[in-house]
Structure 1
Amino acid sequence: MRKIFWKVFFGSLFITLLFALLLLLFFVPSLKRSAVASEARLLRSMSEALTPLVVAKFQEGDQGSLSSLLKSVAQRGRVRITLLSPQGQVLADSSSFKGPWEIHLDRQEVGEALKNREGRSLRMSTTLKEKMLYVAERIEEGGRVLAVLRLSLSLKEVERLTAELERKIFLFSLLALLFVFGASWLFARSLSKPLEDLREAAERVAQGDYSTRLHPRSRDEVSLVAESFNSMTEGINALLGEVREERDRRETILRSLPQALGVVSERGEVLLANQAMERAAGGPLVGEVLTERFRMAGMDELLTKSRKLGEATTGELGGGGRIFSFSAVPLSGGRETVVILEEITEKKNLEKVKKELVVNVSHELRTPLTAIKGFVETLEEEVEDSAAQGHLGIIRRNVDRLVRIVEDLLLLSQLEDPREKLLLEPIDLRELLNNVSLLFTLKAKEKGLAYGLELPQEPLVLKADAFKLEQLFINLVDNAIKYTDHGGIVVRARKDRGRLEAEVEDSGLGIPPEHQPRIFDRFHVVDPSRSRRQGGTGLGLSLVKHIALLHGAEVEVKSEQGKGSLFRVLFSKEEES
Structure 2
Amino acid sequence: MKRPVFFKLSMSYLLLVLVVAGLMLMFMLRSFHAHSIETSTRDLHRIGLALSHQIRPLMENGQPEELNALISAVSRDVQARITVIHGLGKVLADSDNTAASMENHRRRPEVLAALTGSMGQSIRYSTTLGRDMLYVALPLETTGGITAVLRLSIPLEDIQILLGAMRTDLLVLASIIILFSLLIALLFSHAVSRPIRRLSRASRRLAEGDFKERVWLRTGDEIQELAESFNNMAERLEGSFAELASSKEELEGIVSSMAEALLALDEKGRVRLANSSAERLFGTGKVLGRYYWEIVRSPQLNNLIERASRQQATDTVDIDDKVYLCSVTPVSSGKARVVLMHDITEMKRLEKIKRDLVVNVSHELRTPLTAIKGFTETLLEKRSDGSAEYLEIIKNHTDRLINIINDLMELSGLESGEVRLDAEDVSLRGLIEETLALFGPALKAKNLAAKIEGPQQDVIIRGDAYRLEQLLTNLIDNAVKYTEQGGITVSFGSSQNIAVVKVADTGIGIPREHLGRIFERFYAVDKSRSRKLGGTGLGLSIVKHVVTLHKGTISVTSRPYGGTTFTITLPLAAGSPHREATG
TM class, shorter-length: 0.7 to 0.9
The change in CA–CA distance for 1:562 and 1:231 in structure 2 (over 3 A counts) is: farther
Report how far residue 404 of structure 1 moved: 0.8
Moved more, 72-81 or 392-401: 72-81
- Please name the residue that 1:305 is paired with: 307
Moved more, 439-448 or 530-539: 439-448
Q: Is the 8 A contact 1:83 1:148 kept in 2?
A: yes
Letter in 1 for 2:344: I
The change in CA–CA distance for 1:145 and 1:253 in structure 2 (over 3 A counts) is: closer
Q: Is the 8 A contact 1:552 1:575 kept in 2?
A: no
Q: Is the 8 A contact 1:20 1:170 kept in 2?
A: no
Report how far residue 528 of structure 1 moved: 0.8
- RMSD between aligned residues: 3.7
The change in CA–CA distance for 1:229 and 1:567 in structure 2 (over 3 A counts) is: farther
Distance in structure 1 (CA, Å) of the matches to 2:126 and 2:270: 102
Alignment of 1:140-179 (within 5 A): 140-179=141-180
- Please name the residue that 2:40 is paired with: 39
Alignment of 1:211-290 (within 5 A): 211-216=212-217, 218-282=219-283, 285-290=287-292
Q: Is the 8 A contact 1:454 1:490 kept in 2?
A: yes
Report how far residue 417 of structure 1 moved: 3.9
Q: Is the 8 A contact 1:118 1:137 kept in 2?
A: yes
- Please name the residue that 2:580 is paired with: none
Report how far residue 571 of structure 1 moved: 2.8
Moved more, 492-501 or 77-86: 77-86
Letter in 1 for 2:300: G
Report how far residue 536 of structure 1 moved: 0.9
Alignment of 1:14-93 (within 5 A): 14-56=15-57, 79-86=80-87
- Please name the residue that 2:505 is paired with: 506
Report how far residue 470 of structure 1 moved: 0.8
Report how far residue 62 of structure 1 moved: 7.3
- Please name the residue that 2:345 is paired with: 345
2:377 is equivalent to residue 377 of structure 1: yes
Letter in 2 for 1:479: N
Deviations 1:403-453 (A, max 9, x none): 211111122223334443322222122321222222235534543544342
Alignment of 1:325-364 (within 5 A): 325-364=325-364
Deviations 1:72-98 (A, max 9, x none): 7667655454444445566566x5x68
Letter in 2 for 1:392: L
For 2:438, what is the secondary structure of its paired residue?
A: helix
Letter in 2 for 1:348: K
Deviations 1:312-346 (A, max 9, x none): 33333334443322222333344333223222222
Report how far residue 25 of structure 1 moved: 4.5
Distance in structure 2 (CA, Å) of the matches to 1:199 and 1:431: 86
Q: Is the 8 A contact 1:2 1:192 kept in 2?
A: no
Distance in structure 2 (CA, Å) of the matches to 1:440 and 1:304: 49
Letter in 2 for 1:362: S
For 1:298, what is the secondary structure of its paired residue?
A: helix
**Is there any run of 5+ residues in structure 1 with no aligned partner, and where?**
none
Distance in structure 2 (CA, Å) of the matches to 1:334 and 1:124: 89
For 2:421, what is the secondary structure of its paired residue?
A: coil
Percent of paired sites with the same residue: 38
- Please name the residue that 2:365 is paired with: 365
Letter in 2 for 1:172: L
The change in CA–CA distance for 1:419 and 1:153 in structure 2 (over 3 A counts) is: closer
Letter in 1 for 2:170: I
Letter in 1 for 2:322: R
The change in CA–CA distance for 1:512 and 1:257 in structure 2 (over 3 A counts) is: farther
- Please name the residue that 1:133 is paired with: 134
TM-score by length of 1: 0.85
- Please name the residue that 2:579 is paired with: none
The change in CA–CA distance for 1:359 and 1:155 in structure 2 (over 3 A counts) is: closer
For 1:318, what is the secondary structure of its paired residue?
A: strand
2:409 is equivalent to residue 410 of structure 1: yes
Deviations 1:434-478 (A, max 9, x none): 222222355345435443422233333233221112101111221
**Is there any run of 5+ residues in structure 2 with no aligned partner, and where?**
577-583
For 1:571, what is the secondary structure of its paired residue?
A: strand
Distance in structure 1 (CA, Å) of the matches to 2:274 and 2:505: 49
Report how far residue 166 of structure 1 moved: 1.5
Report how far residue 195 of structure 1 moved: 5.5
Q: Is the 8 A contact 2:489 2:503 kept in 1?
A: yes
Letter in 1 for 2:42: R
Tell me the matched-pair count.
572
Distance in structure 1 (CA, Å) of the matches to 2:539 and 2:198: 78
Distance in structure 2 (CA, Å) of the matches to 1:429 and 1:106: 134
Alignment of 1:530-549 (within 5 A): 530-549=529-548
Report how far residue 149 of structure 1 moved: 2.4
Q: Is the 8 A contact 1:269 1:288 kept in 2?
A: yes
The change in CA–CA distance for 1:488 and 1:287 in structure 2 (over 3 A counts) is: farther
Q: Is the 8 A contact 2:60 2:142 kept in 1?
A: no
The change in CA–CA distance for 1:444 and 1:340 in structure 2 (over 3 A counts) is: farther
Distance in structure 1 (CA, Å) of the matches to 2:561 and 2:203: 68
Q: Is the 8 A contact 1:487 1:507 kept in 2?
A: yes
The change in CA–CA distance for 1:246 and 1:454 in structure 2 (over 3 A counts) is: farther
2:485 is equivalent to residue 483 of structure 1: no
